[in-house]
Structure 1
């Protein structure tokens, strides 16, 4: 039996998601701000702006990891694209295929919603995540140069 269950998260999972999201931000060098994190996550639910997946340890009920996807669209193909913007596994649960389960759940959801693709980005230094993404079939895109404008 799998020790971890991954499912689409609901507003009732806000406490679990907020805790993991705060850890995720700390991982990327941000200062902990649990109140702001809770408000940010709650707002995504309130405005129906993203899809969260949550992995829970089946015996202890502890939150092990989460991912978040935002919708986008390909105008040329007239299809949905999902941006897998966030994926985080609590370090206590790394090495247990939690990240893989979160990626699988995202893929299943993208297929169900008839999306063209899932896009994601990670830090150049996040070698373990890159290995997982490649293992799950993600490839580095050479088709486009990605630019950003910080405001």
Structure 2
């Protein structure tokens, strides 16, 4: 997938360092940098070296530079007996914003979901992230008000 100079593709191991930088930038943006424990080596091991990766990643590349990333994983078991995709992280480098890169990444995820016979793509958005909420609604996503998120920290 290509719009202008941007190429949307599945991430490869050599992208690990830049993916980590974008993950760290997202942790700053979403205000959890104080607990951020991911390293470039964790990205490499968890996403690319395991026989069953902990996550998958799609990147937006501009002339060799990673401009944005989308991290996801599969939820193999759902009530409708089809997998779903959980979107864990979507982030576009500040200098690349306004070029519809986030939309291109989401469209690539949508295609990935269709190719894998998924029934749904799920994700959460911080309640203060109005720009994020508007972005997802513009794509046609709906807020799920049927369920509340709970956490049990250990």
Flag structure 2 segments of 5+ consecutive residues without an equivalent. Answer: none
Task: Give the equivalent residue in structure 2 for 1:141.
Answer: 144
- Give 1:93 shift: 0.8
How many residues get paired?
Answer: 148
List structure 1 segments (4+ residues) > 4 angstroms apart after TM superposition. Answer: none
Task: Give the equivalent residue in structure 2 for 1:87.
Answer: 90
Aligned residues of 2:70 and 2:89 also touching (Cα < 8 A): yes
- Give 1:37 shift: 2.2
Q: Aligned in 2, Cα 1:61/1:75: closer, same or farther, shift over 3 Å? A: closer
TM-score of the pair, normalised by structure 2: 0.87
Q: What is the correspondence of 1:42-53 to structure 2 with a 5 Å cutoff? A: 42=44, 43-47=46-50, 48-53=53-58
Pairwise CA RMSD of aligned residues?
Answer: 2.0
- Mapped to 2, the partners of 1:50 and 1:36 lie a distance apart of 13
**2:64 aligned with 1:54, yes or no?**
no
Q: 2:28 aligns with which of 19, 26, 29?
A: 26
TM-score of the pair, normalised by structure 1: 0.88
- Mapped to 1, the partners of 2:8 and 2:119 lie a distance apart of 23
Task: Give the equivalent residue in structure 2 for 1:78.
Answer: 81
Aligned residues of 2:58 and 2:71 also touching (Cα < 8 A): yes
